[in-house]
Amino acid sequence: MPRVLPGPATRRRHKRVLKAMSGARAARSTLFRTAKQTLLKARAYAFRDRRARKRDFRGLWIIRVAAACEARGVSYSKFMGGLKKACVFLNRKMLSEVAIADPAAFDKFVELARPHIAAPA
Amino acid sequence: MKTVNKCYLAKAGDFAPRWFVVDAAAVSESLGRLAVRIATVLMGKHKPIYTPHVDTGDFVIVLNAGQVTIRGNRKREQVVYHRYSGYPGGLKEITMKAMLERHPDRVLREAVRRMLPKNALGRRMLTKLKLYNGDQHPHQAQQPDPWPFN
CA distance B7 to B50: 12
CB-side exposure of A40: number of CA atoms within 13 Å? 5
Q: What is the pLDDT of residue B44?
A: 95
pLDDT tens digits for B117-150?
999 999 999 999 999 999 899 999 999 999 887 6
User: What pTM value is reported for the model?
Assistant: 0.85
- According to CATH, the superfamily of the domain at A7-116 is Ribosomal protein L20, C-terminal domain (1.10.1900.20)
Q: What is the pLDDT of residue A115?
A: 87
Q: Which domain holds residue B123?
A: 19-70+104-146
Residue B59 lies in a domain: yes
Residue B132 lies in a domain: yes
Domain ranges of chain A: 7-116
Say which of B7, B46, B52 has its CB closest to residue A71: B46
Residue B113 lies in a domain: yes
Mutate to test the interface with B, among A72, A95, A96, A110 (most CBs of B within 10 A): A96
Q: Quick one: CA torsion of A29, A33, A34, A38, rounded to 10 degrees?
A: 90
How many structural domains compose chain B?
A: 1
Complex ipTM, two decimals?
Answer: 0.85
| Chain A residues closer than 8 Å to B50 by CB | 60, 63-64, 67
Q: What is the pLDDT of residue A65?
A: 95
Residue B30 lies in a domain: yes
Residue B41's closest chain A neighbor by CA? A67
Q: What is the pLDDT of residue A29?
A: 93
Q: Quick one: CA torsion of B60, B61, B65, B68, rounded to 10 degrees?
A: -50
Burial level of A23, CB count in 10 A (0-12/13-18/19+)? exposed
Torsions phi, psi for A87 (to 5 deg): 60, 35
Residue B134 lies in a domain: yes
Contact B50 A65 (CB under 8 A): no
CATH number at residue B46: 3.90.1180.10
Nearest to B109 by CA among B62, B45, B57, B53: B62
Query: In Å, how far from its chain's centre is CA B136?
Result: 18
Task: Dump the DSSP string for B20-48.
Answer: EEEEGGG--SBHHHHHHHHHHHHHTTTST
pLDDT in tens, chain A (121 residues): 788 877 888 999 999 999 999 999 999 999 999 999 999 999 999 999 999 999 999 999 999 999 999 999 999 999 999 999 998 888 888 899 899 999 999 999 999 998 888 766 5
Bridge partners (DSSP) listed for residue B91? B84
